[in-house]
């Protein structure tokens, strides 16, 4: 009996080793192909340089939809289709302009941009004093007496000591998202927000802001100022707190317009009803060409399916790529996708998102149960040779968030975060900021993870 058990254990271990080395081979091939004959970089070149910035509701966003569908159709997938979604339409307008005025004939231009969703200033612009604050607590302590009739200047920098720059972002971004709504209640005429950027430079960084339930009549314009501009304004205020700030924005909100998620899929051979989704967001802000945010995630996600087709890999489960529309200022695509999935009673077992820049991948985060994570964690050795073996529990991604149901495993690619906020939502988020190998390594890591999920399910 003992012999039989030993024999059984031995044959099981041989099987497991054979399986494991087959996986190693598949992953090696995925990396090899991604790095030597990948298509992600050429795709991104087109999306960034031939299409460019593609804010929801813009002509460019529609060009990106057409491009995504056309490219996916060349891959020989089992199905490529569009999913209609209504999206907000906000337009930056023809110009935006600001200056610090310290006396008659003494003014200095500073780089600003409207925050997404902001209303315009009057066409002659706004001229008012400036009250600098670092927090909402400080704002409230100053109250209407000090705030009324002035600009509020939110100048809390991203904390440099945090290693994960997304954490630093999360500690400061409420100035941008809620600053205007908060300051308006104290009678501010507008808000100027320090750009979410860890570096001192001249690029203002846009991003979404919301007025919430603030009545239309109380809404005030909101602009981001570059970090160098913020430093300058702050030091000028220290010398002369009576200075004036001039701001002109002619951005505008329009009614919602139709747009689309772009979807492609390879039907599963064994479990076609178990769906694995990989995606990024197709829309971007309008200042740069959205190469890191999130052109990178788009082309990496498309590359996962392309690599499977090139390798002639027949997945057991259905593998679907989704190019979500409108992550930046509405999340309408991600929300609609989850609604369609629910309505059609689709069973999603895994959703992976890449929306943290096209930098060297260091691993993944997962929203998973303990037993699911234990399984995932056992795959770590496959990723170690590729230096993408940092697996952690944590928030995955915005677009796949609406799928969350305590059963589906959600995951986000986690590239090195140090450079991301140099480019995020700014005019320098352009194709030249992308390193081909880093982009390709992300696509290979994602493909490898999707491959393993397809092999084992949850």
Q: Which residues participate in catalysis according to the annotation?
A: 327
Cβ closest to a second copy, residue 134 vs residue 347? 134
The interface region with a second copy, picked from 1-9, 206-214, 242-250, 437-445 by CB under 8 A, is: 437-445
Residue in 153, 171, 129 with CA at minimum distance from that of residue 230: 153
Choices 93-101, 240-248, 374-382, 414-422; region in contact with a second copy by CB under 8 A: 414-422
- The smaller minimum CB distance to a second copy, of residues 4 and 163, is found at 163
| Selected range binding a second copy among 82-90, 281-289, 329-337, 433-441, rule: CB under 8 A | 433-441
Residue 347 contacts a second copy per CB under 8 A: no
Q: What's the rounded Cα separation, in Å, for the pair 184 and 168? A: 26
The alpha carbons of the chain give a radius of gyration, in whole angstroms, of 24
436 binds a second copy (CB under 8 A): yes
- Binding-site size for a second copy (CB under 8 A) equals 25
Other CB atoms within 10 A of residue 66 CB: 13
Which of 362, 398, 455, 457: binder of a second copy (CB under 8 A)? 362
Where residue 270 falls (left for φ over 0; alpha for ψ -120 to 50; beta otherwise) is alpha
Of 283, 120, 114, nearest in space to 206 by CA: 114
Would you count residue 422 as binding a second copy (CB under 8 A)? yes
Please, which residue, 11 or 37, has the CB nearer to a second copy?
A: 37
Q: Which of 35, 101, 128, 142 binds a second copy (CB under 8 A)?
A: 35
Q: Among 94, 105, 145, 161, which residue interacts with a second copy (rule: CB under 8 A)?
A: 161
Q: Of residues 50, 148, 185, 390, which one binds a second copy by CB under 8 A? A: 390
Residue in 97, 136, 313, 386 binding a second copy, rule: CB under 8 A: 386
> What number of CA atoms fall less than 13 Å from residue 89's CA on the CB side?
14
**Choice between 150 and 448, CB closer to a second copy:** 448
Phi-psi bin for 212: left (phi > 0), alpha (psi -120 to 50), beta? left
Asked if 233 contacts 225 with a C-beta cutoff of 8 angstroms, the reply is: yes
Q: Do the Cβ atoms of 414 and 362 come closer than 8 Å? A: yes
* CA distance linking residue 426 with residue 208, whole number of Å: 13
Is residue 407 within the footprint of a second copy (CB under 8 A)?
no
Closest approach, Cβ 383 to a second copy, in A, equals 11
Q: How far is the CB of 447 from a second copy (least distance, A)?
A: 14
User: Is 156 a binder of a second copy (CB under 8 A)?
Assistant: no
- In terms of residues, how long is the chain? 458
What x-and-dash track marks residues 189-208 binding a second copy by CB under 8 A? ---------xx---------
Find the shortest distance in angstroms from Cβ 174 to a second copy. 22
Binding site for a second copy (CB under 8 A): 31-32, 35-36, 160-161, 163, 165, 198-199, 360, 362, 385-387, 390, 416, 418-419, 422, 435-438, 441
């Amino acid at each position: 009996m003992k012999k039989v058990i030993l024999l059984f254990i031995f044959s099981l271990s041989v099987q497991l080793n054979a399986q494991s080395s087959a996986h190693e081979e598949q992953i090696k091939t995925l990396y090899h192909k991604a790095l030597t004959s990948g298509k992600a970089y050429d795709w991104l070149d087109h999306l960034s340089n031939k299409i460019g910035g593609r804010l929801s509701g813009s002509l460019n966003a529609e060009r990106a939809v057409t491009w995504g569908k056309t490219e996916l159709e060349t891959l020989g997938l089992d199905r490529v289709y569009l999913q209609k979604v209504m999206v907000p339409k906000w337009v930056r307008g023809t110009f935006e302009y600001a200056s610090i005025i310290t006396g008659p004939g003494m003014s200095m231009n500073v780089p600003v941009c409207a925050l997404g969703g902001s209303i315009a200033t009057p066409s002659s612009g706004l001229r008012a004093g400036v009250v600098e604050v670092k927090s909402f607590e400080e704002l409230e302590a100053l109250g209407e007496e000090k705030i009324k009739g002035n600009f509020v200047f939110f100048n809390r920098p991203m904390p440099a000591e945090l290693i994960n720059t997304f954490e630093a972002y999360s500690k400061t971004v409420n100035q941008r998202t809620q600053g205007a709504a908060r300051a308006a209640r104290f009678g501010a005429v507008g808000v100027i927000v320090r750009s979410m950027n860890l570096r001192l430079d001249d690029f203002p960084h846009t991003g979404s802001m919301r007025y919430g339930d603030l009545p239309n009549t109380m809404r005030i314009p909101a602009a981001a100022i570059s970090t160098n501009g913020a430093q300058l304004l702050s030091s000028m205020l220290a010398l002369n707190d009576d200075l004036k700030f001039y701001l002109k924005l002619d951005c505008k909100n329009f009614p919602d317009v139709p747009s689309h998620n772009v979807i492609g899929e390879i039907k599963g051979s064994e479990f076609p009803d178990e769906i694995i989704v990989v995606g990024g967001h197709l829309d971007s802000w309008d200042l740069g060409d959205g190469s890191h945010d999130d052109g990178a995630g788009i082309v990496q996600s498309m590359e996962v399916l392309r690599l499977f087709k090139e390798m002639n890999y027949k997945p057991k489960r259905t593998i679907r790529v989704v190019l979500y529309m409108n992550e930046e200022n509405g999340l309408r695509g991600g929300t609609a996708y989850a609604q369609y999935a629910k309505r059609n009673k689709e069973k999603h077992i895994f959703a992976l998102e890449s929306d943290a820049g096209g930098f060297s991948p260091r691993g993944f985060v997962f929203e998973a149960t303990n037993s699911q994570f234990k399984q995932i964690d056992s795959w770590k050795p496959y990723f170690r040779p590729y230096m993408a073996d940092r697996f952690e529990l944590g928030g995955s991604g915005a677009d796949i968030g609406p799928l969350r149901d305590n059963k589906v495993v959600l995951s986000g690619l986690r590239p090195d975060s140090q450079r991301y906020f140099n480019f995020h939502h700014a005019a320098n988020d352009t194709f030249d900021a992308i390193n081909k190998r880093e982009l390709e390594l992300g696509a290979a890591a994602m493909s490898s993870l999707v491959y393993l999920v397809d092999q084992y399910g949850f």
